[in-house]
Every structure is written in structure tokens, then in C-alpha cells.
Structure 1
Amino acid sequence: MSRRYDHARVQEYWQQAWEREGVFECPTDADDPTYVLGMFPYTSGSLHMGHIRNYAITDAYARYRRMAGDDVLHPMGWDAFGLPAENAAYERNTDPESWTRTCIDQMKADLREMGFGYDWSRETTTCDPEYYQWNQWLFTQFYDEGLVDYGAATVNWCPDCETVLADAQVDTPPEADDGETTAGTGHSHTHGGVCWRCGTGVEQRDLDQWFFAITDYAEELYHGLDDLEGWPDGVRDSQRNWIGRQEGARVSFPVAHDDHDTVEAFTTRLDTVYGATYLALSPGHDLARALAESDEAVAEYVESVANTDDAGMSGVETDLTATHPYTGEELPVYVAAYVLDDVGTGAVMGVPAHNEQDHAFADEHDLPVEQAVEPVDGSGTDLPHAPYTGDGMLTDSGEYDGLASSAARERLCQHDAAEAAVTYRLRDWLISRQRYWGTPIPIVHCDDCGHVPVPEDDLPVELPDYVQTTGNPLDAAEEWKQTTCPDCGADAVRETDTMDTFVDSSWYFLRYLSPHFKSAPFDQHTADEWLPVDVYVGGEEHAVLHLLYIRFFTRALSDIGLLDREEPVDRLINQGTVLHGGEKMSKSKGNDIAPHEYGAETTRLFVLSAAHPSQDFEWTVKDVSTAYDFQQTLYRLVTEYTDRTETRTESADHDAYLEREIDRTIAAVTEEYDRFRFHRVIGEIQRFARLLGRYAGYDRPYQFAYGRGLRVLAGLVAPIAPFLAEEMWQLLDEDGLVAESRWPEPLRDVDDYRIERQVVRRTLDDVREITAVVDIDEPNEIELVVAADWKYRAYEIARESDPDDAIVGEIMADDEIKQHGDAAADFADRLADRGAGLEPIIDGERELDTLQQAAWLFEDEFGCDVVVRRAAPDHDLAAKARPNKPAIHIS
């Protein structure tokens, strides 16, 4: 029999076997299956290493939970709409659907080749009319509930993609992200942003657009993050920052303008209001636009900063003044680029003494700096040269002088001009896209009736045939565009924008639950029973795109009465990046590695062993070779066992160690699978495989223990290297498929198994150190002496004692320990010095058994006799032996 494993020779066989047995199909009558989901892929043409890492994680966990006895839902589908497919089709002189279907076929073949086990009966493709009709249906439901808005807005426009972008789809170039721009705080209605897809600089345009009212859920989405304990802190922090909840006050500043009586400014530092020396408006503020109509200087400034990359602290003074509501003073009114349209109210009360940006603006425009707060400790400030931004005690603030900042904010808010307020940086979700390859927005525009949703019976509104054109292809599809009004029957036109593809992915996890359901997007009863998704795996880059949108959709669906859940995902795993040459793998960088290049299981083993799932790691040929050699080692262990004729049926002393280590390994690997630490899973399996090889070379294997060890080995590696595990399982003449076998279980109690291992490993290290230091090449005998019982008793008393208590006294109060006189007192002193640093231990009897079982390891390594015994009271070694650290004598 060949002892070389060749996955390519067997993978098709096992794929067909899994499919024939329906291994990965989740039963429809499952009460509450374990729902394991990877973010479905965009249909880009072929799998890349980022896909492989994501899906290796979900597949390993899904296979593990299935073997552990769970019904497991592990589906796959395709994020098939989107501008890249349209651009690719344009470049190849084809249509987006043909290109997309070709990509899907290729990617599905890649997934099967990698051995990923999906329930393909639930496959979902977002460009199918059977899917996107429910996008349209949900749109109309949201419309009826008041969650859809339409109107003119200043939007982000990518001139290369020729479409609008939502705020979250505008990236900030690293060199432009100074933490002060709008993009740096999570919003893009300023300058310096680039398209998330193509990197082109984003422009601002005024267009009529469709929005989902995600801001209606700002408060819920913000506070709901506190309950997502299974989500990474980084994702939750990103969403908190993006939502941008701020508590403060709105302050009304009277102005003398025909269309505006007051300007409201939002501030989180009402205690500094007496330091306000000017009022600043954003260029997009209603009053700024009104002033631009009659003030040429304002008009020129607003136009000049509309698409400027860096307007800095520029601004223009207007002819208008505002009345300070607390002092009655007249303040100059400026239009300033540093004031953002979509933060607060778009107006700022300028307090140069206590805000860095206000101070910089005042310095640029020679505005006064007036202190209103001073440090409580009298330490002084650098005013007027630098602002004092901390809390303190009010000064030069009229009747509020002497109040602490926190108390002053409450008192000042009782003024008629101020009211407590909460603001959010979050803006409504702009879903309009001026492209072809997406879900048509189901609206008809009628001159008499206005915007009319397409009736449910007329859904889906399908895409017309694709015709290459510049601009929006649907706008050029005249025959498709012309229709009649559903309400009055008059001539009307269809909406020609399509939906943001993030709409598709905001509820796809629900469609998997009932993919063939025809009367609704999903079966509500099933959804209520099976949600939330137990484990969701994907990149952290989706924190404020996809991951925020699925939370919004779930809450909106709950309010509409279509779901009984408010959060979609229980546990979120962010996988790190695969690097090559220090950079993220990318076709554009020319450093990508095709997943099939090294074989399915070599690749799977490597990407899961290289690092914790959340960490980045470097792709190296050396480490890939190690993964390849590891699978060959596992295969060879089995083939050598099945080929050999000499085994024992009677147990010997050293077999007990292997039997115990089998149980310990099962416990350790199970714990690491549960914690998603697959790199440690593989480390445990590697260590166990080395032990099995060493055991087989030490003596004829005990058939029961060694055979069980190999079966356990096949079971433990099955979720990570499934083709290999099936081959091992078959060679061991086991029934059925390992993928359908029960997860290995310990035969004996494995409590404190880690301590047992630590005792053996530490003792081996101590013996190695002694032989090296004393330069003993060939020892005659190794004697391991386990401590006397009273020392274990003293150790436990010390561990259970309060570190602040008199530990020595507590130990010496024990009659049994006290009998050992000075030796006991010295030992108690040592324990007291360690205090809270005492680790858990196993008792003396168990330590003795563990070392006796492991004696063969010492014999095998050092080639000599090994004696393990308890300490005799009068023996010199008795004083040196401590709990879980035997005394050692080498002769």
C-alpha cells in the first residue's frame, strides 16, 4: 500500500459520497440547528485566499458541531449583483448576467474542490428574479411603514463608476485621515474621500435619491451594541463611532434674516457658552445657501469649497450677526468649511478658548479668545495661545461663575435658549444607484399620483435586456421605462435607479432558512425558531457597511411584524488577512496564490494553523511545506498500522499513558474547536501524532489503545482535512463516513488534564536541564520522587487562604502538618511568599500515577531505567520534592 497521501486522487470520490449521503443537508424539521455562516462571496470569477480562510473557518466549525451531534445549517450563495460585474461585462463585450453566471460556476467548482461542506439545496443567488422580487417586496413594506424617503440631497458621486455612493462607501485615503475631517469620523460629505470600489476621488452632486430611514433606529442600534457580547470589540466600537451618538444641548442664536429667525447650534460643552465669540455655518447649511443668493462673497466661497480636497480653516464672514442668547452681545456669522453639514445641526458656536478647531479658526481669522472655564486646581492654562479643553470651574460666565462644568451644563440648559438634545453622525442609507446590474427600485413616477409603489402582484420588476451605454443603462431602456400608473392608469415612467447591493446582503441569511418559500421572503416561524445566526465569519472591513445594515434590517423587520428577533447574529468572528511579501494578497498586486495550487488540504491546514482566525499572517512556502508534511505524517501512521502484523492484545504499564493522553487530547482539541482557536487544534493534533509515532516505535503497540488513538486522530482532524480523514477512516476499516461519525469522547474523567500534562512536560524539561548542566550523556537511572502527602495539604490551605491572612499560621494550625516541625514551617514560609501566585495542582496520588504512566517517555529519551516513588520521610530527596514538582536524582 502506498504511504503517500494524494488528495487529488480521492477528493472526487469523497465529494460524491458526501453528496450521496446528504451529509450537509440540514433537516427542515430541526428544532434549532446550529447556524454557521460565512459572508457570501461576490461573484468575482474565482476564489482568492481570503475566501479560503473565511470558509475554512466556517467549514471546520460546522463539521465539528455536526460530529458533536448538532443539526447544522451551513449554506452558501452568491452576492451576484454589483457594479464590478457590469464593468467586467463592458470590458469583455458581454452582458453582466452571462459574466456573473460563469463566475458562479467557477467559484462553486472551487468550493467543492476545497472540500467545503455546504447545504447546496439552499443555494441562493441575488440576481435571480426569485430572490430580488423580495428585495422589491421589502422595499414596498418599508415604504408603507415610512422607512423610505425620496428627495433632493447632496450626495457622493463617483465619476468613474458613474453612480452615487452611500456615506459608508466613501473611504478616506490614509494620508488624508487626520481624525478631524468628516471622512475621518465616519462620514463623507466633505473633501478627500475616494470610492471604496475604484479609489477615484468622490465629488458632491445634488440629485433626487431614495433613502432607507436607518436614522430612525440610531438609538436602538447604538444601545443594542451593548448586548452583542459575542461580537469583537473593534466592530462594536466602529459602529458606535459611525452612529456617533452625542449628548449635549441645542442653543438658539437669534439672527435678523428674512427667512431665518434663529440658528440652532449643537454643543456637548454648554458650560463654555460664555466663551462663544462667533457663529459658524457649514457651506451646506440652509442659511448659508440663502445668504449665497444675495452675497457674492458667500456664493463664491460656497462654490469654491464644494469639491476642494482641503479647505482647511478657510471661511468667509457674512453681513449677518447673531445675538448671544446669554449675554446679548452681537457675534459675527461665518460660513466655514470645517463645520460639517451632517454633524450636529450644521452650525457651530465658536468657542476658541475651549475647542481646538474653533481656536485654529479664530487664529486664522483674528477672532477674540475669551475664557469661560478654568482648571479647578488652579494650574493655569496656555490661553490665548492654546485652548483649554478640559472640564473645570466657570469663570467670566455671569451668574454661573464658580459652578463646576457638569453642574453648569445642567443649569445653563434651563435657559429658554437651550434644550437638552442628542445628535447622531449617522445619516439615512442612500440606496439609489445609477447602474444596470442591481434590483430595480419598484416605483412608478406619475405626474398626477406622484411616486407609486409597484403592486405586489406585479413583482418582480425584472431587468430589461442589457444594452451597453454610458451613464445609467436603465434610463436609456425606453420601452422598459415607459409604463402606466398602478393607481390611475395614466402614462408613467419607471424608476430607473437600482438598489445598493448591500440591500441584497442585508437579509440573505433569512432566505437560506426557507429558500423555496413562495409567499414571503422567508418563513417567519422558521426564522423565529432558527435565528440568530450562531456564528458569522467575515472581514472587519464590513463593520459599518454590511454588519450595520443587517442589524437595521432585522430590527425593521421585527417592528413590521415579520420577525420576532432584533439582532441577527449571536457570535461574530472577524478573520484576518493573508499576506504575501508583507502585503495583502491581491491579483492587482500580483502576489496572489491560487487556492488549488498547493492542494485543498495543504491549503486548509496552513491557513488554519498559521494564526488565530482574527490575526493576519504571512504566506510562506516553508510553512505550506510543513502543512503538506503533516498530512503525510498522519496518513503514514495509519498505513503503517494497517500494514503491520505485530501488535499486542495484552496491556502493559506504559499503555496507560497513551490511553490517558488520548482522553487528554480529545478534551484539549474539543475546547480549542469551541473557542475557534484552530491553530491550537492543529498544534494539539501534531503533538498527538508525534506521540503515536513515538509509542509505535517504543514497543509493539497495544492494539486497543493504539487503534483507538488512530481512530481518534482521524476524527479530530476531520473538520480541517476532510478528504484525508475519510481515507484514514476507511483504512482503519471503520463503518460509514467519518463526517457522520460521533465526535470522539474521553473514556475517563479528564478534569485537570492540563495539570497532568504540565507535570510530565516540566519534569522532562528538568531532567533535560540537569543532564545538560552536569554533562551526563548516558545516565544509568533516573529517580523521580513525589512529595509527601502533608505538603499537598499545606499547599491547598495556602491556595484557599486570603493572601492578606496569616498563611503560615493557618498552615501550622493543622495538626498533621505541624508534626513535621521546622520542615513544615520552612515550607509554609515559601508558600506564603508566593501568595496569590499558587496555581492549581493535582494530588499526590494522581501525580504519582501520572509520572509512573509516563516513565516510558523518560526511558525512551534517556535510554535508562526510571524509578518513580513517593518520598520516604528520612530520604534526602523528601525535602526537595514539592507538589507537582518531583525531586530528581540522576545516577
Structure 2
Amino acid sequence: MSRQDTYDHTAIEQTWQARWDEAGVYRTPNDATDPAYVLAMFPYPSGQLHMGHVRNYTITDAYARYLRMQGEDVLHPMGWDSFGMPAENAAIERESDPREWTMDCIDTMRDQMRSVGLGYDWEREVTTCEPDYYRWNQWFFKQFYEDGLAEQKGGEVNWCPSCETVLANEQVEGEDEHCWRCGTPVESRTLDQWFLSITEYADELLDGIDDLDGWPDSVRGMQRNWIGRQEGARVEFEIPGFGGCEAFTTRLDTVHGATFFALAPGHEVTQELIAENPELEAQVETLDPDADGDEKRGVFTGEHAVNPLTGEEIPVYVADFVLSDVGTGALMGVPGHDERDHEFASEYDIEIRQVVAPADGDGSLDIEDGAYTEDGVLVNSGEYDGLESHAARDRFVDTIESASHHTQYRLRDWLISRQRYWGTPIPIVHCEECGAVPVPDEDLPVELPEFVPTPTGNPIEEVESFVRTECPECGGPAERETDTMDTFMDSSWYFLRFVSPDLDDAPFDTDRANDWMPVDRYVGGVEHAVLHLLYARFFTRAISDMGMVDVEEPFDNLTNHGMVLLENRAMSKSQNHVVSPDEIIAEYGADTARLFMMSVAGPETDFNWTDRGVRSNNEFVRRLHGTVTEFVEGTTETAEAGERPIDEYVAREVDATVAAATTGYDGFRFDEALREARALVTLLRQYRERVTPDASTFERGLRVAVRLLAPVVPHVAEECWEALGEDGFVAEADWPVAGSDVDYAAERRLVENTREDVRHIVDVADIEDPEEIEVVVAPAWKHRALDIAIEADDDVVGSVMRDEALRTRGEAAADYAKDLAANHQSLTEALAPETELAALRRAAWLFEREFEADVTIVPANEADESVAKKATPGRPAIQID
């Protein structure tokens, strides 16, 4: 029976998972001396994992294991983002309780994570729907409230009619503006809601992006765009009978081109206008605020606004593309120089006037066909004609009495109110005498009442025993706030709770948080580039200002993992388009699944799940186990062989593999690291097939390969490590270190390039069975010439031929110098001639094995001159017979 057939993945994986738990291998010390915090975005407990989830968690698990073997104290925790509408909706569908459904899902997913072999410190597990966690959501809310960062205010909000709750701007997606959770088109409503004043931190959040060097550029760009800082000016247009109305513009230089004035439907002047005109009110009600379609719609109010610079009267419209909570809710329409205004003017037959022309043109533009939106010089602007745009903007701020420089943002305050049951109750009591009163700390947490399912609306409102209460200040009758918090509140600080999850008198231990934070490596989906990450950054900065933690940014390095596709489509449980980890683990084992996902592509890259890929990786796992088992049981014959070239080659390749794999793990390029480790296992098998291997060289190669693979295939690595006679866990073993300071990469390139040259000659010359291969290393004088050429500025030939020793080479040196000059820009350093010779001689057995021919490696002075003269540094000459 083949030794590979003795690999019983189920027994091996269950054994080592139990032994890890018993020994507390992944328990994190509180007093870490060399802390490293590795974290995957914690999951919503939806019931079942699929392989996309497993990939995400395997990425951080492999990296945490690697750092642990490097000697660092690693915090690698897991928890559950367990509040939210899906649980509530699932409970209603199943006529059950959201908590019961959620906790069942958590139990299932935790068991699946354990079966995958994820090395979490489960003693630090947090569950956001537990009162001992959301108590601190309420406590943080109170700190924000007391610091003026939380307030209840009215205004237009986004309403999802399917989820029956309001949404933050960040939770409205796409041009058709749909709910991020269910995809339903979002409506606009006017409601009193609770907000956190993230806009107070707009500049800090924007400027801080420049320091996030470890984040993907795409995510940093998305955050910059969402914050959307714009430099411009505020300017007041007078609407006779209604007073001044302020507009924001980034292009005050175009004020002469303003041909209409537009108000948001919810603007206070709009409300005054419709209060006096029922017909106008009916027309305004047909508009769709927040509309983002192709058609811009508006209603002429019958009123006119006065241009503050020219005195010209322009029509006033109420338009659906003007938003109450963006800028001032009013704008000056300049259709000649703004595409949106151009569309609107074209639709309503409003004048389109050019007032800016390209600085390097003749000033003529077909402005009717499209707006000119670039800076230039002013035209049709009276005494200001010829003024450059940037100068005109400053000039008009000085000239127009009501104008002032102003900065505005796309970012809006974070709307945290949700009209749903399954979330953190907002700790506010409403009293007719005292107003909104925070619940005292000693009365926290305000726990959710028993779930009472209702077909529509907020179930909490139906629980009289919860709603009716006493005012904490005056003792009179009051009502509790029935809105719950946005679940992104939970995830904005959970990474801090992991440092001290059992702390009773504070949300986290400040000293420990300062030791561990920021998170060194954070991994999750790019879909959270704005939502979660922006909120977490705000939260961290706010509590840092409150003195709770020293850091201002929560995550040092961020990786957005790619998706695991199935038949070129993203996996989806709702569409039954998934691969179950339970089925894969049962048939092939967790190590096989982990190895496939980590080998096939880098963490950021999407890839297709294939049965063939799974089987191939399973064969490798079995091959690794079999190779170690055969050596331990004596099936692999070894000897004390001395220092043969092949032994030296394998020994150096072991060191080269350590160096390359370590670079891969350090750089979060697991596929490269695994390619190196797998190649080492293949090399060791080739080594034993070629000769009776040197015992110490072969055994060291096995021990290195097992450790290099251990972060990704931890179970079989433990089995092999124990078989090799080690007492402790490989998970706690020291990471291997390369034995000497050698440029292994250059030696590898030399060997592989030379093998490729031999292949090319055999192929082009159609040599079926080569008998002898002679590889000739370039002479030392050519290496000397190359070094001089690399250092030369322009006169390569002159620099080379000025060397006295090279001049004695006469025409040969001159010809080579000309070749060097022709390729001067691409010249690179080469190994010394004696190093080239030694490296190729150590690797000669690879040539012999591949080409089944006698191979000799010789210096140029031992070869025929006609062959030797073709050899150059790094590119030996080759003669095949």
C-alpha cells in the first residue's frame, strides 16, 4: 500500500484540533511583549459558511500562525456582528425569536470554523447582541451626547419601505439609489432622527488618509471621494419678498453665466413659497428629491432672484436634483459651464450663456451642445473679460458683499436611528418636562424587551412595559426612545473589545488597547470601504480625543480579499450557488481546502473554485505526509554522503526556499511562499530518486518544508512534525532561518536561465537525444568589463578600454565593450565567475536528469575558444552534441 494512502485527514485533523484546544496554543497573553494584532472582519451569523468566508478567515489565520512562529505574541480573535435586520426578518418568517435564531447560527458557524482549523483565541469571543457588549454601545452613545457629537434632529432621510427603517447615506447604493441590504429603491421622508456628528471630523478623516500607507489606493480614493471636500464660496441671491437665499458654488468665476436659481424641495424658502400657493405645492409634491436619473425635473415658482454682481433677475425653480442636506440646499444655475445645469436648462428652455473660454483658444464654443467645465478666461463678463478663472473667483469674493470663501463636504452626519427591534436600544428617555434625558450609567444596559412580532412597524413600540418609564431627572412619566442603533455602531469599536472582552467596568482596558492597537493587519471585503471603515476611523478618532486610547487610526494595514467564484459567479447562499466547507472537509480535509485557496492566487485576487484544483492540492498534502512517513519509517534510504555537488545544491536550495518563502509571507503573498515550499518537497523527492540522499540534508529539508507549510496546512504539518521526533507543536516552533548570507535569487536565475537556453537549443536544433552538454562560464575579464560598463556614464567603450588589463585583450575586449554600450541601460550586476561556476556545477544533476545527457560545467579557459568567446556574465555558452 502506498504511504500516501495512510493519510487519514479526518482522524489527523480532529486529533490536532483537540490537542490545540487542550494546550491553549492560541490563547493570547494579556502582557504581550511583542504584540501583533491580526484580524478578519467579523461575520454576520447568517447560518452557514461557504468557501468565500473560509478564504477570508484562512488568510488571517495563516498570517497569525506565521507571526507566532516568528516569535511574536499574536492576538487573533473572532466574534459575531449579530444584530441586524436579516435576523429579525428570519425570525418573523420562522415565527421565532431573533436571538434564538442568531445564537443557533453562531453555534453552527463556530463549529465550522473549528473544523477548518482556524487558530482563534476563543476565550476572547464577543457577540454584539449580548447585553454585556451592547451596554457599551449605549455608554459610548452617552459620551458622544455629552461631547456634543450626538443629537436628535429633523430633516429629509432615506427610507427603505421594505426594511421599514431609515438608512444612512452610506447605506444607499447605486445610481438608482437602492437599499444596501435588500435592494429596494429608497424613498425620502422627513423625520426626527439621531445622528452622530461625523462631519466634525471631516477634515481629520480626509487628511488622515494620506498616512494610511498600508491601505489599498482604491479604498483610500473611495474614502476621499465620499468625504468629498470642495473649496468654493457662499454667495447670497436676493429673492424679493423672501429675503436673501445663500448658495454654494465652486465656480464663482461663472456668476455672470447664472441664468436660473434652484431650490431643494425641502428648502425653507420653498416651504414659504408653497405655503402661499397650493397649486405650486401640488407641483412640488410630484418631484422626487434625491432623484438621480437621466431626467432633471423642476417647477418654476413664478419668483425671480437677483444676481448679486450684475443685478440681473433670473427665474427661481424648485428642482429635484438640489438636495436639502447638500451645501445650502440652493444653487445658482450656470448651464454654460455645468453639465447638470445644462441638462436642466435644455429641458426647460432656459438661456445657456458662455462666460468662460479656453485660455489658449479663440473663445468660440458651441455651448448649446454641451457645457464647458474647465477653467479658462472670462468672456461676456463686462469689465472682467480676460480675467483668469482662478483670479476671478478670488476677485468676486472681494467684490460681492455677501460672498465668502467656504469649504463644504459631501459627507453627511451619520444617521444611526433604526426603526427595528433587533439592535441596541438608544439610551434616551423622553420627558415632557425635561426633554431628551440620557439613561444613567448605573441603569445600563437598557435591555431589549421580549420580541413581539408585528407585521409592520417597530415591534418595540408595542411593548408598553418597555416604553412607559420614569424620567431619570424629575421622576415624572416619560417614554423610552424606541429606535435602535445602526449595527455599524457595533462594528465601529469591536476590535477594541477583543483586548479585554470580560472587563466589567469599562468598554476596554486602555493600557492593553494602547499596547495592541492599531490592528497590524485587517482583512475583509471591499464592500466595507466606506461604510464600516469610515465609521470605525471616526469612532477611533472621537474616543482618542476623549482620552480613551492613544491611536487615531484603527487599522495599520488593510487587505481586501478577492472572491471565491463558482463557475465565474460569486457564491451566494440565497441563490444556492455555494460550495459547502462541510462537504469539502469531509471528503478531502480542511488542509486541502486551505491549501487550494491560498495557493491559487494572492489574497486580493478573485479565483474559480474547481474540483480539479481541490484534487491536485489533496494529492500534494498526501505526498507531503507520505514523504515524511517514508523517511521516518526508514523506507527512504539515506547515508552520510559527505559533500557531493548534489548535496550542496539541495542544502543551498533549502536555504533559498526559506529566504523566498519568508519574503512571501512577510509581503502577504501566500501563493508565492507556498509555491516555494511545494517546490522544496518536489526537490527532496527528486533528490532521493537521483541518489541516496545525505541524511542530515534530507532531514533538514523535510523539517524546513513542514514549518514553511504549517501556517496553511497546520494539521498535517503537526502530524509530520511529531513524526520527525519533535516534542512541541509546530504551531509554536521557531520559523526556519536561511543558513548563510547568499544571493540565492541570483543563483537560481542563473541556473534556470541556463536550463532554458539548453531547452531552446535542443528545440530549435531539433536534437532528439543529446549525448553531451557543455556549459562554459564567461572569463573573469568579461566580468571586469561588465562592472566598468555599469559604472560608466556615457562613454562605455572608452571606459572599458582605458583599463590596462582589458586593453591587452585587444579586439575581443573592444567588441565586447561595443556590445555592452549597445545595452548600457539594461545592464545588471552578475555573479562572480567562480560563483557562477560553482552554482552551475552544483546544479549539473538537474540538467542530466532533464536531458538524460552527460553534463560538464567548465570555465572559459578550459573550453574550446570558439565556444568560450560566446559566454558572457550570467549567460554561459552552451555546446550540445
Q: TM-score, normalised by structure 2?
A: 0.97
Give SS of 2:286's match: helix
Report deviation, 1:11: 1.1
Partner residue of 1:343?
326
Cα contact 1:45–1:106 (8 A) shared by 2: yes
Query: Aligned AA for 2:366?
Result: D
Give SS of 1:3's match: helix
Distance in 2 between the 1:645 and 1:460 partners? 65
Distance in 2 between the 1:306 and 1:275 partners? 27
Distance in 2 between the 1:721 and 1:770 partners? 40
Partner residue of 2:380?
396
Cα contact 2:288–2:320 (8 A) shared by 1: no
Give SS of 1:742's match: coil
Report deviation, 1:677: 1.1
Q: Structure 1: where are the runs of 5+ without partners?
A: 178-191
From 722, 727, 734, the equivalent of 2:714 is 722
Partner residue of 1:226?
210
How much is the aligned-residue C-alpha RMSD, in angstroms?
Answer: 1.5
Distance in 2 between the 1:87 and 1:403 partners? 61
Give SS of 1:348's match: strand
1:481 aligns with 2:472: no
Report deviation, 1:389: 1.4
Distance 1:797 1:295, change over 3 A: farther
**What pairs with 1:65-214 in structure 2 (closer than 5 Å)?**
65-172=67-174, 177=175, 192-214=176-198
Partner residue of 2:733?
741
From 797, 802, 807, the equivalent of 1:813 is 802
From 366, 375, 396, the equivalent of 2:358 is 375
Distance in 1 between the 2:636 and 2:247 partners? 87
Distance in 1 between the 2:459 and 2:790 partners? 75
Give SS of 1:705's match: helix
Greater alpha carbon shift after TM alignment, 356-365 vs 35-44: 356-365
1:700 aligns with 2:689: no
Distance 1:32 1:714, change over 3 A: closer
From 502, 511, 522, the equivalent of 2:488 is 502
Deviations 1:329-375 (A, max 9, x none): 11111111122333322212111111111111111111112211111
Report deviation, 1:480: 1.4
Cα contact 1:36–1:62 (8 A) shared by 2: yes
From 792, 795, 798, the equivalent of 1:801 is 792
Partner residue of 1:441?
426
Partner residue of 1:51?
53
Query: Aligned AA for 1:146?
Result: G
Query: Aligned AA for 1:887?
Result: A
Report deviation, 1:319: 2.1
Partner residue of 1:640?
630
From 301, 308, 316, the equivalent of 2:283 is 301
Partner residue of 1:236?
220
Distance in 1 between the 2:485 and 2:414 partners? 11
Report deviation, 1:568: 0.4
Query: Aligned AA for 1:284?
Result: G
Report deviation, 1:32: 4.5
Query: Aligned AA for 1:393?
Result: V
Distance in 2 between the 1:877 and 1:819 partners? 21
Cα contact 2:299–2:318 (8 A) shared by 1: yes
Cα contact 1:298–1:335 (8 A) shared by 2: no
Partner residue of 2:238?
254
Partner residue of 2:761?
770
Greater alpha carbon shift after TM alignment, 312-321 vs 37-46: 312-321
Q: TM-score, normalised by structure 1?
A: 0.95
Distance in 1 between the 2:735 and 2:181 partners? 44
From 224, 246, 250, the equivalent of 1:264 is 246
Query: Aligned AA for 1:135?
Result: N
Distance in 2 between the 1:309 and 1:296 partners? 27
Report deviation, 1:36: 0.2
Report deviation, 1:832: 1.5
Distance in 2 between the 1:410 and 1:629 partners? 71
Distance in 1 between the 2:492 and 2:672 partners? 33
Distance in 1 between the 2:230 and 2:842 partners? 63
Give SS of 1:880's match: coil
Task: State percent identity of aligned pairs.
Answer: 55
From 617, 633, 656, the equivalent of 1:664 is 656
Give SS of 1:654's match: helix
1:758 aligns with 2:742: no
Partner residue of 1:331?
314
Give SS of 2:152's match: strand
Report deviation, 1:289: 2.1
Deviations 1:450-480 (A, max 9, x none): 0000011111111111121231111111011
Report deviation, 1:200: 1.5
Partner residue of 2:548?
562
Cα contact 1:43–1:107 (8 A) shared by 2: yes
Distance in 2 between the 1:627 and 1:341 partners? 57
Query: Aligned AA for 1:602?
Result: T
Deviations 1:486-528 (A, max 9, x none): 1111111111111111000000000001111122101111112
Cα contact 2:645–2:843 (8 A) shared by 1: no
Distance in 1 between the 2:438 and 2:86 partners? 29
Query: Aligned AA for 1:344?
Result: G
Cα contact 1:276–1:351 (8 A) shared by 2: yes
From 247, 268, 292, the equivalent of 1:286 is 268
Report deviation, 1:311: 7.6
From 828, 832, 835, the equivalent of 2:824 is 835
Distance 1:297 1:613, change over 3 A: farther
Distance in 2 between the 1:377 and 1:325 partners? 30
Partner residue of 2:29?
27
Cα contact 1:786–1:886 (8 A) shared by 2: yes
Q: Structure 2: where are the runs of 5+ without partners?
A: none
Distance in 1 between the 2:651 and 2:846 partners? 14
**What pairs with 1:609-628 in structure 2 (closer than 5 Å)?**
609-628=599-618
Query: Aligned AA for 2:35?
Result: P
Deviations 1:155-197 (A, max 9, x none): 111122111111111122xxxx3xxxxxxxxxxxxxx321111
Deviations 1:708-727 (A, max 9, x none): 11111100000001011111
Distance in 2 between the 1:621 and 1:402 partners? 69
Deviations 1:360-407 (A, max 9, x none): 111111111221111111253222332221111111223322111122
Cα contact 1:136–1:442 (8 A) shared by 2: yes
Distance in 2 between the 1:839 and 1:633 partners? 39
Give SS of 1:720's match: coil
1:3 aligns with 2:4: yes
Report deviation, 1:118: 0.5
How many residues align? The count is: 868
1:589 aligns with 2:575: yes
Report deviation, 1:268: 1.1
From 401, 404, 412, the equivalent of 1:419 is 404
Report deviation, 1:682: 1.9
Cα contact 2:59–2:598 (8 A) shared by 1: yes
Distance in 2 between the 1:757 and 1:616 partners? 30
Partner residue of 2:18?
16
Give SS of 2:627's match: helix
From 200, 209, 217, the equivalent of 2:201 is 217
Distance in 2 between the 1:397 and 1:801 partners? 60
Distance in 2 between the 1:844 and 1:302 partners? 85
Deviations 1:196-218 (A, max 9, x none): 11112212222211111111111
Deviations 1:814-865 (A, max 9, x none): 2222221111111111112112212342221211111011011111222222
Query: Aligned AA for 2:212?
Result: L
Cα contact 1:312–1:337 (8 A) shared by 2: no
Report deviation, 1:12: 1.5
Partner residue of 1:409?
393
Query: Aligned AA for 1:368?
Result: E
Distance in 2 between the 1:674 and 1:716 partners? 12
Distance in 1 between the 2:500 and 2:320 partners? 50
Distance in 1 between the 2:200 and 2:416 partners? 16
Cα contact 2:649–2:843 (8 A) shared by 1: yes
